[in-house]
Amino acid sequence: MTVSLASELQLPCGAILPNRISKAAMTEGLATPDGRPTPELERLYGIWSDGGAGMLLSGNIIVDKDHLERPGNVVIEREPDDDMKARLANWARAATRNGNHFWAQISHGGRQTQKLVNAHPKSSSDVALALPGGQFAKPTPLTKVEIADLVNRWAVAARACKEAGFTGVQIHGAHGYLVSQFLSPRVNLRDDEYGGSLENRARFLLEIVAAVRAAVGPDFPVSVKLNSADFQKGGFDFGDSLQVVKWLEAASVDLIEISGGTYEQPKLMGVEGMEEEEPQNVAPSTAAREAYFVDFAKAMQDEVSVPLMVTGGFRTRAAMEQALESGAADVIGLGRPLCVDTDAPERLLAGADELARYEDHLDLLPPWLGFLKRFQMLKAISGFAGIYWFYQQIWLLGHEGRVDRDFPVMKAFRIVDARNKRIMKERAAL
């Protein structure tokens, strides 16, 4: 049977995705200063719902207000009050108005929480981020009591989202956030039952999965986002990832999204990292393909049957359908293209061949100044300025229902940075 972008997908829990395109999780920064959904989030996700994707993933919904991924995250750290319940329900209603799924990505920033949010973040261990600029403080190791509390918070958030009308949840275990910090032998230096062996380092994630499954029941989709590798020397590698996928399959996870990288090595964004990329023992064709993680997913599919979603780099329908037909992916995740061309899924399903690559034109440093990237601070600013340009498009969609393809990159960097600082000042005043 030929699998195409328009094919349905039945998940192990019985839920059915209407097609194979998902809007990948992207941070929005549109919540109130105290972490509540807003009309701007409703407008944004209503537009994305109308765009034709079979499933939408939210940006980070955080389980601890002191460990935001960025200012403006939605926060669910305890049973929601009536106002929060209504706001979550309004968001879910807008995001599913076209009959698609809407899943909540639940997360915790850990040591990747900026200083302007928390000067004393928690992590698996006290290993600081190796990034220039001093934006991230050295973390404090979580106690076992704190770990148990966080596991429960994931369950509380998942149940709250289900009751609000979300149709699934995703546990964020990738990209260097807290769960990923526990999985990494480079970051997790604990000597208790949460550190050392891979089985111990995966304990936190598997406890979260078990608690979330108990909270939402057997018929509700539970997903995990997992790094195929951190691409760092001494970090979480492909062999580790494959074993964790096997454990997740046994733990009744319905879909695993394969990604990769951390803030130090932002492979997920196609941005050059702070160190040389650590090679992985998989088929060497990944670099020649437009999709970053296809070969990793294909290697996993040879050993597991759990559905896999692949996000990162897809721009042509041919590559997407090749990934589906070859068995490398069951769901195709699209991120940055939908920040500008919100109807991209609908156009792909109608036969469009290719999506625009806006990121190709967003480098602050033109090629003739590329030598300046040997300075780590300039390399970081150049990379994140392009990311902030997409943040600005999301802000425009949420506030005004439009995009601005000609928005200056440096202006976006300044505006988003100032907006983050303003949100934190407003939150401190609450």
Q: Which tens digits make up the pLDDT trace of 65-104?
A: 999 999 999 999 999 999 999 999 999 999 999 999 999 9
Looking at residue 237, its pLDDT comes to: 85
Run of H or E residues at 309: strand 308-311
Q: Count CB-CB contacts under 10 A for residue 242.
A: 17
Spatial CB neighbours of 230, under 8 Å, sequence gap ≥ 6: 176, 180, 184, 186, 236, 237, 260, 261, 262, 265, 278
**DSSP code of residue 233:** T
CATH number among 3.40.50.150, 1.10.150.120, 3.30.720.110, 3.20.20.70, domain 9-361: 3.20.20.70
User: What is each CA distance from 209 to 2, 245, 246, in whole angstroms?
Assistant: 32, 12, 13
Cβ neighbours, 10 Å, residue 65: 15
Q: What is the pLDDT of residue 252?
A: 95
Pairing, β 55-62 against β 74-75 = parallel
CA 248 → CA 123, 195, 308, distances in Å? 22, 18, 12
Distance from C-alpha of 395 to C-alpha of 391, rounded to nearest angstrom: 6
- From the first residue on, what is the mean pLDDT of each consecutive set of 10 residues in the chain (430 residues)? 92 98 97 98 98 98 97 97 98 98 98 94 94 84 98 98 98 95 96 98 98 98 89 80 96 93 56 48 49 84 93 91 92 96 97 88 58 53 78 97 93 92 91
pLDDT at 132: 65
> Residue ranges per domain, the chain?
9-361
Convert the pLDDT of each residue in 177-197 to its tens digit: 999 999 999 999 999 999 999
